[in-house]
Structure 1
């Protein structure tokens, strides 16, 4: 499933690069769906879940950015110099926050738990 996920992701990005809207737009659904399934399947492992959620958010941001370019609102100003493309920073930032939480909070807790268990 993970290998097929990469194929869909690459097809989506090829569609974006070549401005083949039908391919790019169609590939959002299987790429994102498989990413969500992978995250769900790894939900019991904090490290895997954090990274896979970050990937779901990355694909979401990437797909939104592609859509904004395809439909021409990537350069539309929403105020204070923020354009349609800049709104992709929301899911990108959420993905970074998920990883920051894992590395700054969750992983140190796991490490302390392992140290206590071995004493």
Structure 2
């Protein structure tokens, strides 16, 4: 999995590419989120446009990131999931826990 990240106006943006399966990439993502929180991130936007597959461990990573952000008064938003990932979010009812936007641009304009 490839990960690009940046902090923009207190929003931590994670752009993922590949499969989110929760292996070493899960630990890497948690480290990036922890660092971003220390740098003042209030929200985390995870761009899923290039994610092909999410395993149960990958879902665990998303929930762990959500818990970490909510513990500091923040929120996690998902953007641009593929049809396959969208179905997974619906089946697991994660679409009720996460706010999902059609694009990264839409997410950033809505959360400010």
TM superposition score category, shorter chain reference: 0.3 to 0.5
Q: TM-score, normalised by structure 1?
A: 0.33
Structure with the higher strand share, 1 or 2: 2
Structure with the higher helix share, 1 or 2: 1
Asked which structure has the greater RCO (Cα within 8 Å, sep 6+), the reply is: 2
Q: TM-score, normalised by structure 2?
A: 0.35
Higher alpha-carbon Rg? 1
